[in-house]
Amino acid sequence: MAKNFKVGEMFKSGILTNNPVLVQTLGMCPTLATTSSVENGLGMGVSAMVVLIASNVVISLLRRVIPKKIRIAAYIVIIAGFVTMIDLLLKAYVPALSKSLGLFIPLIVVNCIILGRAEAYASKKTVGASFFDGLTMGLGFTFALFIIATVREIFGSGTFLGHEVFGPAFEPASIIGMAPGGFLVLGIIVAVIQIIQRKKKEKKEGNA
């Protein structure tokens, strides 16, 4: 198989320049709902990544078999199958995490990142490339969730992965951990990214 894709570039694109959450703003529901603690955010990120890799590989394998007209339905069934597996695995091995993520595990099915990658990438590219696409996009999703969850957990409850950060004198702003804080933190992070993007663009134009 000829290598028609660059792994290093894909990592950079998936995690930074084309981050599915922070730049493309896809998959907002789980992003906001599961980032009140780092543990939940990472759990969600990794679960979605596993589903994304598996569905990308299977869809890429079947890309010549699936008829064009019913492709979306076929993708949804494949994705839903993997989501069910993850759901049952989490219930069996990490019941606490499964309970705190709750509804959002079955809702991975309707995560637009996964269907989006299936339609835009896996249905056209080779198996290897689709695997790396799933891996890098999944890592990007996990990375974004990790950042948001870190900010929210540190300011919202004064802890990081359950360990206290500032000592007992710190009065946590619990609103950051609640629903409004999710919107606020995500808004500020996206704004910071827009500043960085603009600076980069200005620099490029300055050089030219």
Partner 1 sequence: MLTSLFSIALGAVLVENFIFNKFLGICPFLGVSKKVETASGMGMAVTFTMTIASAITWLIQHFILDRFGLGFMQTVVFILVIASLVQFIEMALQKMMPALYSSLGIYLPLITTNCAVLGVALLNIQNDYNFIQSIVYGFTAAIGFTLAIVLFASVRERLEYSDIPKSFEGLPIALVSASLMAIAFMGFSGLKVI
Among 6, 9, 29, 174, binds partner 1 (CB under 8 A): 29
Told to check if 61 binds partner 1 by CB under 8 A, we report no
DSSP, collapsed to helix, strand or coil, labels residue 164 as strand
Structure tokens that stand for 10 in this block: 């894909």
Task: Give dist(CA 193, CA 157) in Å, integer.
Answer: 25
Instruction: Give CA–CA dist 205/29, Å, rounded.
Output: 36
In angstroms, give the least distance from the CB of 195 to partner 1. 4
Q: Is 28 in the site for partner 1 (CB under 8 A)?
A: yes
**Part in contact with partner 1 (CB under 8 A); list of ranges 42-50, 71-79, 127-135, 144-152:** 71-79
Residue 195 in contact with partner 1, rule: CB under 8 A = yes
* Residue closer to partner 1, measured from CB, 42 or 186: 186
7 binds partner 1 (CB under 8 A): no
The nearer residue to partner 1, 64 or 69, going by C-beta atoms, is 69
Q: Cβ closer to partner 1: 166 or 183?
A: 183
Contact between residue 90 and residue 98 where contact means Cβ atoms under 8 Å apart: yes
Longest distance between any two alpha carbons in the chain, whole Å: 62
- CA-to-CA distance for 111 and 10, rounded, in angstroms? 21
The Cα 79–Cα 66 span in angstroms is 14
What gap in Å lies between CA 156 and CA 36, rounded to an integer? 8
H or E element in which residue 160 lies: strand 159-160
The footprint of partner 1 on residues 159-188 (CB under 8 A) is 175, 178-184, 186-188
Nearer to partner 1, 53 or 185 (CB): 185
Binding region for partner 1 (CB under 8 A): 25-29, 32-33, 72-73, 76-77, 80-81, 83-84, 87-88, 103, 106-107, 109-112, 115, 175, 178-184, 186-188, 190-192, 194-195, 198
